[in-house]
Amino acid sequence: PLTREAMEAFWLPMTPNRQFKSKPRLFVGAEGMHYVAQDGQRILDGMAGLWCVNAGHGQRRIVDAIQTQAAKLDFVSSFQMSHPAAFELAGRIAQIAPSGLDHVFFTNSGSESVDTALKIARGYHRARGEASRIRFISRAKAYHGMGWGGLSVSGIVRHRRDFGPLLPEVDHLSHTHNPEQMAFSRGQPSWGAHLADELEKLLAIHDPSTVAAVIVEPVTGSGGVFPPPVGYLERLREICDRNGILLIFDEVITGFGRVGAAFAANAFGVTPDLITCAKGMTNAAVPMGGVIVSGKVYDALMAGPENTIELFHGYTYSAHPLACAAALAALDVYQDLALFEQARRIAPLWEAAAHALKDAPHIIDIRNIGLLAAIDLRPRDGAPGARGAECASRCYDDGFLIRASGDTLLLSPPLIIEEEQIAALFAAIRRALAAVG
């Protein structure tokens, strides 16, 4: 087996991953709901890898599709060339996206999707002769990836702080990060609209005609699973429309079934101008991302004032044949298993299991939507994050993979999770909470 020394000899771990350092975790296999660790232990995957293996690991149909494609056509550039599966995939995605979102630009990751969406937003306004629209508005606690664009609109301070200067023309709305506000907003229909009014205030400070786009995760993911208050997304849509601002939903986590519909936009009945996606697009078997674009944006980009705008953008691996094959197979699997419906069906059980933890030690708050959940733990005096890390670590030793972000436990299992597995997962968390000091 690979030793820790051998791993650390040449590896550059940029992410300070304390859990990993204290106990290297090497997986040598994965099937369905489980990883197989190097020591043979089977670990129930409570994170779908990293919010991405929505249909569970090792889906045969996806594996076969990748192998067949690799043998047939390994690569073709997206610059002046392409291949049939790319067009087929764009069509299949347009079919499940909210109506009106019908063109797809392919990328290789969520970060590239966000950077691409921001560039499309500026390109859209420029093509319409509104080059002054350069500003982006996003939210505190937002996670939009690691590229310079995505990082600039991200609102998680720890991610941003060592890398400035970032894009200057970004404002962060402070709402959806204040736990009391969010807790209060539950069951308060008027509060969603009230939160969105913060956007109006920002627009009153800036000239709205300088704003290119508002970007939000419909459900804040990595920042701690904050579902939107009732009416909030509708109000954002209305304010953006009134001010000629594009609305971008970053659905890298919520896309492909995580909240019980193809996209959160479908689930909430609010249609943005652009959707960014990745992760579940190929069931994570091959890296791939995309930006789904409305007809309105597409038409403006394609027309431009007398086609004077070139808008040069693209990646070597855009619409990579292996990724397209994997994504088409993943969509087949999602459809055959009726996986989005299954996620919606099992979500109430998931919710009940999550909230049954409320009297366990150290709990401050529990949030959930679809097959997502976050559990905030009270930080240990003088050691923020330690309790979360210990809890995740104990779960792992017990055979369950969950994620700790500081003192927030994050859960996002494959959508194929069964009732008994949900019970076992939360029982493991309960045991861990009882054991951590």
Nearest CA among 173, 267, 255 for reference residue 214? 173
Rounded to the nearest whole angstrom, what is the least distance from the CB of residue 220 to ligand PMP in the complex? 8
Q: Classify residue 58 as exposed, middle or buried by CB count within 10 Å of its CB (0-12, 13-18, 19+).
A: middle
The answer for residues whose C-beta is within 8 angstroms of residue 26's C-beta and 6 or more apart is: 1, 2, 37, 38
Rounded to the nearest whole angstrom, what is the least distance from the CB of residue 250 to ligand PMP in the complex? 4
Rounded to the nearest whole angstrom, what is the least distance from the CB of residue 226 to ligand PMP in the complex? 12
Is the sign of the CA dihedral 17, 19, 21, 26 positive or negative?
Answer: negative
Nearer to ligand PMP, 182 or 288 (CB): 288
Q: Classify residue 15 as exposed, middle or buried by CB count within 10 Å of its CB (0-12, 13-18, 19+).
A: exposed
Rounded to the nearest whole angstrom, what is the least distance from the CB of residue 188 to ligand PMP in the complex? 25
Nearer to ligand PMP, 264 or 329 (CB): 264
Nearer to ligand PMP, 182 or 424 (CB): 182
Nearer to ligand PMP, 223 or 260 (CB): 223
Nearer to ligand PMP, 271 or 276 (CB): 276
Q: Which residue is nearest to ligand PMP (CB)?
A: 110
Q: Decide if 96 contacts 106 (C-beta within 8 A).
A: no
Nearer to ligand PMP, 65 or 118 (CB): 118
Rounded to the nearest whole angstrom, what is the least distance from the CB of residue 222 to ligand PMP in the complex? 5
Rounded to the nearest whole angstrom, what is the least distance from the CB of residue 6 to ligand PMP in the complex? 27
Do the strands 372-377 and 408-411 form a parallel or antiparallel pair, or are they unpaired?
Answer: antiparallel
Which residue spans within 26-97 are E strands per DSSP?
Answer: 27-31, 34-37, 42-45
Return d(Cα 401, Cα 17) in angstroms, integer: 15
Q: Provide the terminal-to-terminal Cα distance of the chain, rounded to the nearest Å.
A: 33
Q: Decide if 320 contacts 75 (C-beta within 8 A).
A: yes
Q: Decide if 176 contacts 235 (C-beta within 8 A).
A: no
Rounded to the nearest whole angstrom, what is the least distance from the CB of residue 253 to ligand PMP in the complex? 4
* Footprint on this chain of ligand PMP (rule: CB under 6 A): 109-111, 114, 143-146, 217, 221-222, 250, 252-253, 278
Nearer to ligand PMP, 284 or 424 (CB): 284
Helical ranges in 269-313 per DSSP H: 295-303
Rounded to the nearest whole angstrom, what is the least distance from the CB of residue 190 to ligand PMP in the complex? 27
Nearer to ligand PMP, 127 or 267 (CB): 267
Q: Classify residue 391 as exposed, middle or buried by CB count within 10 Å of its CB (0-12, 13-18, 19+).
A: buried
DSSP 256: T
